[in-house]
Amino acid sequence: MAIQTEFITLPVSDGTSMRAYVAKPEAPPKAGIMVFQEIFGINSHIRDVTERFAKQGYLAIAPELFHRSGPGFESGYTEAEMGEAFKHMGQATDAGLTADIQTAFEWVRKATGNLPTAAIGYCMGGRTATLASMTVPLACGISYYGGGIAPSPFNPGLLERLKEVQSPMLFFWGGLDHFITPDRVKMVAEGMRSAGKTFASVEFSDADHGFFCDQRGSYNAVASAVAWPCTLAYLETHTRKAAAA
Catalytic sites, residue numbers = 123, 177, 209
Q: How far apart are CA 45 and CA 161, in angstroms?
A: 30
Contact 166, 197 (CB under 8 A): no
9, 53, 140, 159, 221 from 136: Cα distances, Å = 21, 20, 10, 18, 33
Contact 24, 30 (CB under 8 A): no
- ∠ at Cα 123 (117, 176), nearest 5°? 130
Q: How far apart are CA 125 and CA 137, in angstroms?
A: 18
Q: How far apart are CA 178 and CA 187, in angstroms?
A: 15
CA 189 to chain centre: 18
